[in-house]
Amino acid sequence: MFGKIFGSSKAPKEEKVLPWIALSELAQLDAISEKSKTKTQVVFKHSTRCGISRMVMKQFVDAYGLTENDLDLYYLDLLNYREVSNEVGYKFQVLHQSPQILIIKNGVTVAHASHSAISDLDLGTFVS
């Protein structure tokens, strides 16, 4: 009875940590393009001030089941790195949205999604 009133004494759930690579410099975009020739590259554009972006990020993290060997996973804080965010759109030919995910292979975007559609992408199908 007291557990229901005051909360459970169970240990809090451990937070899942993904193998994010911070995307913060324009030069990284050329490296992503080059590396995509041998390994799938994924860019997750996130707005740290947006509730929807935060919710989608949590869903993405919870559902993520790949490893660093499968693909490279880049995190772009688009508010702090607007210039990089803008260049991502130009370089990979995708109209900016937030949150947004881009899957890059052989230097081009082979899939992208934004908002709740991010959950619909099966990243495993894009593993090189």
Contact yes or no for 71/102 (Cβ under 8 A): no
Provide the Cα torsion 122, 85, 114, 110; round to 10°: -40
Alpha-carbon distance of 115 to 100, in angstroms, equals 6
User: Which is it for the CA torsion 47, 49, 51, 54, positive or negative?
Assistant: positive
- Output the pLDDT for position 5: 56
pLDDT in tens, 72-82: 999 999 999 99
Q: What are phi and psi of 124, to 5 degrees?
A: -60, -30
Q: Which residue, chain included where needed, has tokens 């993904």? A: 18
pLDDT band at 8 (very low <50, low <70, confident <90, very high): low
- Output the pLDDT for position 16: 81
pLDDT in tens, 85-104: 999 999 999 988 889 999 99
Single pTM value for the model = 0.86
The domain segmentation of the chain, as residue ranges, is: 16-123
Alpha-carbon distance of 53 to 9, in angstroms, equals 31
What CATH number was assigned to the domain covering residues 16-123? 3.40.30.10
Would you state the structure tokens that stand for residue 27, as one six-digit string?
Answer: 């030069």
